[in-house]
Amino acid sequence: MSASSPAPGAQQQRLAAYLDSLARAAGHADRTAPLESYCTGLLLPGERKSVEPMAARLAPGDVRRVHQSLHHFVANAPWTDEALLETVRQYVLPVMERKGAVVAWIVDDTGFPKKGTHSVGVVRQYCGQVGKQENCRVAVSLSVATEQASLPIAWRLYLPEIWAQDHKRRAEAGIPPEVSFATKPAIALGQIRQAVEEGVSRAPVLADAAYGNDSQFRDGLSKLGLEYIVGIQSSTTVWGPGQAPLPAKRWKGQGRPPGLLRRDKHHQPVTVKELAQGLSPRAWKSICWRQGVKRKLCSRFAARRVRVAHRDYWRSKLPPEEWLLIEWPAGESEPTKYWLATLPTNIRLAELVKLAKHRWIIERDYEELKQELGLGHYEGRGWRGFHHHATLCIAAYGFLVAERSRFSPSARAGGLELRAPKLPSDLVPRGRPRARRTAQPGLDRHAPHPAR
């Protein structure tokens, strides 16, 4: 039998071995059964992946006991998310790399609309899922990506400052004392630093302008020896090709010798938008970077070597040159996207564009994690439960990524060789769509009740 046509039962054997390695990472024999049940519940068919509906699918004749077991495991058990995610990475990443090397580390965040004010981290803030300011919580993630696949390897809730300083809410949500306020770029940089320390295969870091605008984030990547290609705003100032700030004034022999770079009213940097609009028509090239659903994805791009001008008047040495990549689609009145990149000087424009656009791959991850694996379905309010549920969703997703890399690109949650007992006709667990007292995504819930 060929590798592309595995023997019956082989998938269940691989899943069992995978879950066994995760159970060892969870650190206690009593956690083995609920971990295996929770991950299996996430992979089984079902519209709702919160605790009670999964318990009903896993054990329709014993819902209350299984519900309590799963709830304790995800909300209260003190296993370590980082240890479990490391085990997931060690299993999945080598399988991914059989089809190609890691080409990027991708930073992103995702939002979860949530009503009420008691669930950990919930405030009114920008939520990408709805595309506007909304009551929600946001988590920051780091993913590793090959050309064909990607996997989140780090995950942490962004804790707004109002939460970080509220001792009562911190206690109620079980926020660890060592967790303090940190910006999203600072959280991401910490995740990246940890990945470097753990020896994850290095690759350029990709991030959107929410991270790329932060000069400390970019400097932190460079200090870690990592290349990057990150989005920036059109108002970012740079010195164009061949330009630089003025050198320090000449010392006149008295006082401390001047050492800082300078500007004057005749010698100023320009915004990246101004630079782009000043380029000649010949500077723009049409580049296609991948095949979309219906057609190739193409646009017009230009790239120039620049020096970032942000507060360089406090520098004594010239900032290094880096690439400014600009996208100006045909028919648009002005450029639409800008990136800074520390990639090699001899990189081709098409390669630069392809890498900048590779962030799209994690959109697929989040779509499946949310729609198929219930990433946003956790109904508890606490810090530990929120992170434990996300870790287990990523663990279940990691198995799917490995299966696709081995055999079938079409492997999906709900479509594996897994079978669940048939539900009793009179069982209506909370969370079932359109049922009475339905648990909608994002609603605050009180302590779990026995199944009705």
Q: What pLDDT is attached to residue 263?
A: 83
- The DSSP annotation for 174-206 comes to T--TT-----HHHHHHHHHHHHHHTTPPP--EE
- Domain 209-241+268-358: assigned CATH number: 3.90.350.10
Note the pLDDT of residue 443.
37
Residue 358 corresponds to which amino acid? H
Q: What is the pLDDT of residue 255?
A: 67
Supply the pLDDT for residue 447: 38
Rg (CA), the chain: 25
Contacts of range 356-360, beta carbons closer than 8 Å, 24 or more positions apart: 356/206, 356/229, 356/325, 357/289, 357/290, 357/297, 358/103, 358/104, 358/106, 358/145, 358/206, 359/104, 359/106, 359/108, 359/206, 359/207, 359/208, 360/290
Model confidence over 127-158: pLDDT tens digits? 988 889 999 999 999 999 999 999 999 999 99
Q: So what's the pLDDT on residue 440?
A: 39
Residue 92 parent element (H or E):
helix 81-97
Extract the runs of DSSP E, i.e. beta strands, from 309-392: 321-327, 337-341
> What is the C-alpha to C-alpha distance for residues 26 and 287, in angstroms, rounded to an integer?
47
Q: What is the pLDDT of residue 421?
A: 63
Query: Average pLDDT by consecutive 10-residue portion of the chain (452 residues)?
Result: 53 92 93 96 92 93 94 96 97 95 97 91 91 93 96 98 96 96 98 97 97 97 98 96 83 71 86 97 96 91 95 81 97 97 97 97 94 94 97 97 84 72 60 43 38 34
User: What is the pLDDT, as a whole number, of residue 435?
Assistant: 43
The vertex-134 CA angle with 133 and 138, nearest 5°, equals 95
The pLDDT, as a whole number, for residue 428 is 61
pTM for this entry: 0.88
Q: What are the boundaries of each domain within the chain?
A: 1-98+381-452, 209-241+268-358
Alpha carbons within 13 A on the beta-carbon side of 15: 23
